[in-house]
Structure 1
Amino acid sequence: MLPCAFLNTRWRRCNLRRIGMKRILIVCAALLLCGMAVARGRGVHRVASCNIRVALPQDEEGGNGWSARKYVCERVMKRCKADIYCLQEVTVGQYEDMCRMFPGYFVFGYPGPETDALPDREYHGIAKNLVMFSKRRYEMTGAGVYWLSDTPLVGGSSSWGTARPRHVNWVRLRDRRSGREFRVLSVHLDHISYEARLAQVRAVADEASQYPPGVPQVLAGDFNSRPSNPVAGVLAGAGWVDAFVEANGEDAEQMSFHRFEGDAYEPKKGTPGRIDFIFLKGTGIRVVSSALVKDCVGGKYPSDHYFLTADIVIE
């Protein structure tokens, strides 16, 4: 029979090993969590561009109306876990739904004289490009709207043969963590006229050019043009970087418009391509990763566009 002293010593050694292993596991877990925090934490801003598809009666008949999609849209957007959402094609009911579904976000860009003139709450060819941002993370230091026309300060104005009035909503944010300020712009260019898109994107580039390089800028939205189109070339010539291409390379190009069909969609003319973008401009701003969000819920897509995300760092 072993002496009690030996047993006590052996028990203490085993117990110390167990305690030591527990401490190691705790430390490892803490380091893992810290690593995750660094990867998607203080220095990283996740931006999502979401064309949510305007609420139309004809979509209701086909099962893709907003009443059938809004909770799908909510779930997919929340899965993105973005700090900032740039939305396009938002009508008044959709704006109210966003305010309700995202109480932790400030939702900027719906009310205006052009919507005040439409008390019937119906869609009259004017849908808004909202910017939503985390109230906990950001402080808004400035904001505004301008219309893509010869009279940019007149709400609902249009020029250059555009099919519908188009505008830009922008906010200037201060990151509460770092104190760094930057601009975010949400845009939707015309879907019919190539000449109108060119004039509109030039107006966007000209307006943004008044800011010095030390003010980083993020431009997100539906450009109704592919990356190889001269419309995107206007922005490249003005110093804007396509976040998706920068992160994934030109060979990784994919389509973003799919008519509620997902990857099964085949256009009648040409090949499918990406028409949704997140562009970056300024010193100290760079993309870490960017991806198209192809999620659906129960076989239903949140929109006829895939959403687009980009993780960016502003140094």
Structure 2
Amino acid sequence: MKKIFLAAAAAFSAIVFPACSTVEPGPLRVATFNIRVPVDKGVNAWEERLPRIHKIVADNNFHVFGIQEMFRKSQHATLNSFPGFKRVDGNNPAYQDLAVYDVIFYRPERLELLDQGVFALSETPDVPKSKSWNTNLPRETTWAKFRDKSNGKVFFLYNTHLDHRSVVARRKGTDVNLAHINANAGDLPAILLGDFNAQTHTDVYKKIIAHLNDSQKITEAPAAGPYNTYTGYNRKPGAGAHLDYIFVSPGTRVLSYRVIDTLVDGQFPSDHYPVMVEIELK
């Protein structure tokens, strides 16, 4: 009788709490990765770089990450789904023909997607693909609202790519991002990541850190990897610039920060290094 009771109890537990054994505990691993549009030739051609990108993602076991410079024509099919990840692109049909766009990938065993969207970095954010401030192409931010299954905490994640040409567009685009975070995230934790095309001395950076923390500055473990995140395929010390960031809401613990400068078979996955943090949400 006792064995029957225990077996029944185990079966009941498996039915009522089916996800408990599959949710990985511990810090949330978050990353940003500009994968570079497919315009290069030779060893840096897209077909050569794609396996390297997949290896970087697989080896570092991200829970959620944002990609910038995803080029629809040649990259959409091959990056539509990384093994083990689901994809967030904002779920807005008006953006489906955008040539270059930003995507979020997440592991469904760790995170539950609650909501998603996309908005233009322009004077009219609700008008899809709208441009302002002398940008050379439409700029947008993709966002997602998640629940962390390991602890039940709900948070927002924003993946952005500010304009590379117009200083005004970067400033104004930052205002749009911060306004959306303030209006929608409210008191919930928020993560703003991506390629900001701005270094730490700029107004863009100063605007952001008035509201959010730069994870590189508050990491509890020493920051790992090189300082610069953009390389232009150049490994020389000091080459490139620090353009890629992961900003977090005040109160979020950053346990570790790393610029992943790993080469694959001696070659670059992209002209940017991915950035990864391990965090605990407040």
TM (norm. structure 2) is: 0.84
Overall identity of the aligned pairs, in % = 28
Bigger radius of gyration = 1
- Distance (whole Å) between structure 2 residues aligned to residue 286 and residue 116 of structure 1: 36
Residue type matched to 1:277 in 2? Y
- Equivalent residue letter for 1:291: R
Residue deviations 1:68-121, cap 9 Å, x none? Answer: 100011101211211001110002232322234x23211111765455447xxx
Match of 2:77 in 1: 96
2:248 to 239, 264, 280: 280
Q: How many residues align?
A: 256
Match in the other structure for 1:51: 34
Partner Cα distance (1:265, 1:163) in 2: 29
2:266 to 299, 309, 315: 299
Distance in 2 (alpha carbons) for counterparts of 1:45 and 1:309: 10
Q: For residue 101 of structure 2, give the secondary structure of its aligned residue in structure 1.
A: coil
Task: Return closer, same or farther for 1:169/1:262 CA change in 2, 3 Å cut-off.
Answer: same
Deviation at 1:150, TM superposition (A): 1.5
- Give, in whole Å, the separation in 2 of the partners of 1:263 and 1:114: 42
In the alignment, the residues of structure 1 paired with residue 97 and residue 66 of structure 2 have an alpha-carbon distance, to the nearest angstrom, of: 24
Partner of 1:240: 212
SS of equivalent residue, structure 1 residue 90: strand
Which of the residues 190, 194, 206 maps onto 1:217?
Answer: 190
Runs of 4+ with deviation above 6 angstroms = none
Equivalence map 1:1-40=2 (5 Å): none
The whole-number CA distance in structure 2 between the counterparts of 1:178 and 1:142 is 18
Deviation by residue 1:212-271 (Cα, 9 ceiling, x = unmatched)? 65300011100001122110111112x200001211789x971111111224574xxxxx
Distance 1:66 1:197 in 2: 27
Matched, 1:77 2:57: yes
The equivalent position to 2:160 in structure 1, one of 176, 179, 187, is: 187
Unaligned runs of 5+ in 2: 1-23
- Cα–Cα, structure 1 residues 253 and 297, in superposed 2: closer, same or farther, change >3 Å? closer
How well do the aligned residues superpose, as a CA RMSD in angstroms? 2.2
Partner AA of 1:187 in structure 2 = T
Give, as a single letter, the amino acid of the residue that structure 1 aligns with 2:191.
V
- C-alpha distance in 2 between matches for 1:110 and 1:173: 13
Whichever residue aligns with residue 243 of structure 1, its letter is S
Decide whether the 8 Å contact of 1:262 with 1:294 is kept in 2.
Answer: no
Does the residue aligned with 1:136 lie in a helix, a strand or coil?
A: coil
Residue aligned with 2:102, SS = coil
Aligned to 1:86: 66
> What amino acid is aligned across from residue 278 of structure 1 in structure 2?
I
Task: Identify the residue that residue 108 of structure 1 maps to in structure 2.
Answer: 88
